[in-house]
């Protein structure tokens, strides 16, 4: 059977790169409150690892009619069933989640080895996103496309690049949901300089990108398997100050119509095709699982432009959750939101005007 694990603290675990990593409170709370999410794409007979089986079943039933076909198991039950697991699909692979599964008795034969984990971590660094961005821009050479990113490994170089770039965004190589992102108006103040020094010290470097006049966030979701990387669908999402808020739930044609108000559908298709090719060449034999590429529509002096690779998430994303929900027509013309009430996270499906 396949075992699914929701480990949303994954991005932070990559930054620490320690199998004994303990997620901060917010990460543990998010994992506990939304641990049922893999039931949305798990197949009949699969298992989903959770802390509270009754609560997970209740929440999953609220979202999908046939969730009882998926079995929720806690740690104690998993230890009993570990020998039956022949495939594992976590939200994302890191040394911490691998260690947790080993402790439950899951066979090393169905887990990535340390070399593979190291390569996955390397490819999850924002440096990799910049390499893929450059490849897309070179292959398509379309004047509607834009984007650039620099990697620096010291503060002196950071200040030099910022002087050339002007208003910019600086990013930690590994971070999640806007937490490792800062905005700079040409000059580093003392607080940002200190933050940058800490990022360079802990992660080896820092990314610098021009600040763009963004008008729309979206992404493309993919899956990687032994044959390569395959396009799965569009993700139109919403952020506040760089942090994820929610996703539009709609069919592919509806999401496409939102985006083609700014850029052509032909360009979107070409970007998807090139990403499949570039990512297949890099990920085949290394990474099997879900991944997403964040993009944005940018307003410029010459009209709307497309930034095709803001970042690459080598894991499941909320876009994949939205794709699973959008497969059900009754959720169309809705928005999937992740809300925090001060103590718990909740997934809500609401009308778009709310």
Q: Do residues 274 and 139 make contact, with C-beta atoms less than 8 angstroms apart?
A: yes
**What's 42's DSSP letter?**
P
The predicted pLDDT at position 57 comes to 86
Look at residue 186 and tell me whether its pLDDT is greater than 70.
Answer: yes
Give 95-154 as a DSSP string. Answer: HHHHHHHHHTT--GGGS--HHHHHHHHHHHSHHHHHHHHHHHHHHH--TTB----EEESS
pLDDT, mean of residues 117-126: 96
pLDDT, mean of residues 156-166: 88
Look at residue 352 and tell me whether its pLDDT is greater than 90.
Answer: no
How far is the C-alpha of 302 from the C-alpha of 346, rounded, in Å? 41
Residue 178 banded pLDDT, cuts 50, 70, 90: low
Residue 61 banded pLDDT, cuts 50, 70, 90: confident
Q: Do residues 314 and 92 make contact, with C-beta atoms less than 8 angstroms apart?
A: yes
Encode pLDDT of 69-114 as tens digits.
889 999 999 999 999 999 999 999 999 999 999 999 999 999 999 9
Q: Which residue has the tokens 């990022």?
A: 199
pLDDT, mean of residues 239-266: 90
The predicted pLDDT at position 65 comes to 63
CA 29 to chain centre: 18
The predicted pLDDT at position 245 comes to 83
How far is the C-alpha of 100 from the C-alpha of 53, rounded, in Å? 18
**What's 40's DSSP letter?**
G
Q: What is the mean pLDDT of the chain?
A: 92
How far is the C-alpha of 183 from the C-alpha of 163, rounded, in Å? 14
Q: Pick 176 or 195 by higher pLDDT.
A: 195
Residue 187 banded pLDDT, cuts 50, 70, 90: confident
Encode pLDDT of 19-47 as tens digits.
999 998 989 999 999 999 999 999 988 99
Residue 310 banded pLDDT, cuts 50, 70, 90: very high
How far is the C-alpha of 210 from the C-alpha of 184, rounded, in Å? 10
- When mean pLDDT is compared over 118-132, 232-246, 327-341, the highest value belongs to 118-132
**Residue 64 burial (CB count, 10 A):** 18
The rounded percent of the chain whose pLDDT value lies above 70 is 97
């Amino acid at each position: 059977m396949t075992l699914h694990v929701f480990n949303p603290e994954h991005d932070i675990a990559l930054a620490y790169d320690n199998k004994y990593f303990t997620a901060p409170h917010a990460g543990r709370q998010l994992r506990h409150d939304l641990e049922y999410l893999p039931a949305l794409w798990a197949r009949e007979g699969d298992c989903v690892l959770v802390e509270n089986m009754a609560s997970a079943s209740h929440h999953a039933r609220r979202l999908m009619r046939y969730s009882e076909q998926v079995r929720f198991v806690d740690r104690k039950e998993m230890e009993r069933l570990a020998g039956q697991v022949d495939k594992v699909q976590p939200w994302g692979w890191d040394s911490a989640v691998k260690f947790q599964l080993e402790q439950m008795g899951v066979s090393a034969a169905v887990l990535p080895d340390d070399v593979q984990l190291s390569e996955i971590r390397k490819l999850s660094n924002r440096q990799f996103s910049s390499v893929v961005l450059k490849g897309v821009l070179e292959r398509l050479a379309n004047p509607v496309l834009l984007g650039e990113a620099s990697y620096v490994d010291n503060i002196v170089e950071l200040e030099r690049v910022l002087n050339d770039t002007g208003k910019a965004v600086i990013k930690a190589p590994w971070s999640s949901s806007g937490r490792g992102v800062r905005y700079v108006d040409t000059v580093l103040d003392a607080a940002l300089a200190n933050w940058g020094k800490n990022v360079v010290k802990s992660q080896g470097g820092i990314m610098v990108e021009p600040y763009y006049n963004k008008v729309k966030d979206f992404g493309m979701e993919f899956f990687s398997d032994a044959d390569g990387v395959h396009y799965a669908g569009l993700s139109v999402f919403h952020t506040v100050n760089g942090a994820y808020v929610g996703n539009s739930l709609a069919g592919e044609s509806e999401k496409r119509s939102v985006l083609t108000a700014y850029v052509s559908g032909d360009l979107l298709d070409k970007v998807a095709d090139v990403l499949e090719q570039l990512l297949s060449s890099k990920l085949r034999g290394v990474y099997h699982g879900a991944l997403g590429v964040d993009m944005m529509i940018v307003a410029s002096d010459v009209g709307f432009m497309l930034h095709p690779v803001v970042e690459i998430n080598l894991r499941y994303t909320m876009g994949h959750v939205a794709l699973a929900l959008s497969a059900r027509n009754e959720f169309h013309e809705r928005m999937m939101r992740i809300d925090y009430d001060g103590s718990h996270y909740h997934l809500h499906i609401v009308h778009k005007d709310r």
